[in-house]
Chain A
Amino acid sequence: MAEIVAGFGMPHNPGAPALVLRDGPQSETARYYAEMAKELAAAAPDVVIIFTDDHFNTFFLDNFPTFAVGIAETTSGPNDQTPMPHYNVAVPGALAAHIRDGAIARGFDIALVQDFEVDHAVMVPLHFLTPGMKIPVLPIFINCLAPPLPTAQRCFALGEAVRAAITEWPQPLRVAAIGSGSFSLEIGGPKIPVGDRAACTPDPQWSQHVQDLLGAMRIGELVAEATTARMLRAGNIGGELLNWIALLGLIGAHKPVNILPQDDHGQAFVAWRWN
């Protein structure tokens, strides 16, 4: 029977790979991703599930799923000109189809996508965590960017449904999961200050608060507080917290073993391991 062995939350800034190349392995971003990579290696997963938000690259507004699962044998990316290596990576297609079946049976009508690439939200975390791309990756897409967003309650329940499906998988399999994204980030919107960057962190306090709730395992409060209005006040990309909330539904009640904050950037790196 498959088992879930670890969970990770982390940002996916498209500039991170180039930043680390420039600033070296002792830079904060390099060290924080390395900490996550170390925990992932120790968990020794056979498969990684990643809850991710597509930034209008894999999908567009002509056809934009609230939830979708990638069912294929391979994918590649990034498909959005992020300055980093281009990777091909295996997808556990049979498991992905099993998860879609199980989720639909539990009331989640997840869209199917079978011929797809992925953008920086998948490839930046993988670049640092599984640089050889030897671990198959199963992307589950959540609309975090184009309101109306799904509710936090619904995303948490999606994670629970995915967990239930995984535990019904008959073969032994170690599954780790990632929630990809930031807590406070505005890109191109009215909250950014005048200057040379079209992005900012409007609400570092919200980022700290989210981490406090994660650290204290006050997940019910986090889900209740993470309304669309609250998340978007923290920035028009603040809905990426939904990827983390789906992750929390998937992994169940566990205390993080490591929380590495970057509150100036409205984000954090968090690892959960329990066996």
Chain B
Amino acid sequence: MSVFAVNKICRDALHDLAFREAVKRDPATAIAARDLTTEERNALLAGDVAWLYEHGCHPFLMSYLTRWSLFGLRPAVYTERIRKAHDARDD
């Protein structure tokens, strides 16, 4: 259930200014100590929000990342990628 750690990173990006600035400077170093699986770490650093969504990350929390384009997620990039996620609501 380390998806919790990804959600926590998104929340901390809003609430923890020092963490947010650290992610802006060097994303990999900023999240190095976080308890993530290799897949989660790679997805986050690649800004693969579709994969993160499909693995349980909350989209409301992930949307914070676009406010500061963290992990390369400018709004136009985020919106283009998230649309490719499988949406279980449509099943």
Residues of A within 8 A of B (CB): 55-57, 60-62, 80-81, 145-146, 186-199, 229, 232-233, 236-237
- Decide: A198 and B66 in contact? CB cutoff 8 A: yes
Please measure, in the bound complex, the distance between the C-alpha atom of A193 and the C-alpha atom of B87, giving whole angstroms.
14
When C-beta atoms are compared, the residue in chain A nearest to B59 turns out to be A188
- Decide: A188 and B76 in contact? CB cutoff 8 A: no
Please measure, in the bound complex, the distance between the C-alpha atom of A29 and the C-alpha atom of B33, giving whole angstroms.
44
Contact of A145 among B60, B62, B63, B85 (CB under 8 A): B60
Report chain A residues within 8 Å CB of B59: 186-190, 236
Report B33-77 CB contacts with A as 1/0, cut-off 8 Å: 000000000000000001001000011111100100000000110
- Decide: B87 and A191 in contact? CB cutoff 8 A: yes
Report chain B residues within 8 Å CB of A190: 50, 53, 59, 82-87
| B21 interface contact, C-beta 8 A | no
Could you list 19 examples of A-B contacts with CB < 8 Å?
A55-B60, A62-B4, A81-B15, A187-B60, A187-B63, A188-B63, A188-B66, A189-B59, A190-B50, A190-B85, A190-B86, A191-B87, A192-B79, A192-B83, A194-B80, A194-B83, A196-B75, A197-B75, A236-B59
Grouping DSSP codes into helix (H, G, I), strand (E, B) and loop, the B interface class, with mixed when no group exceeds half, is helix
When C-beta atoms are compared, the residue in chain A nearest to B50 turns out to be A190
| B24 interface contact, C-beta 8 A | no
Interface size class of B (residues with CB under 8 A): 20 to 34
When C-beta atoms are compared, the residue in chain A nearest to B54 turns out to be A190
Please measure, in the bound complex, the distance between the C-alpha atom of A122 and the C-alpha atom of B15, giving whole angstroms.
18
When C-beta atoms are compared, the residue in chain B nearest to A232 turns out to be B89
Q: From residue B44, how far is it (CB to closest CB) to chain A in Å?
A: 15
Please measure, in the bound complex, the distance between the C-alpha atom of A62 and the C-alpha atom of B11, giving whole angstroms.
12
Report chain B residues within 8 Å CB of A191: 87
| B8 interface contact, C-beta 8 A | yes
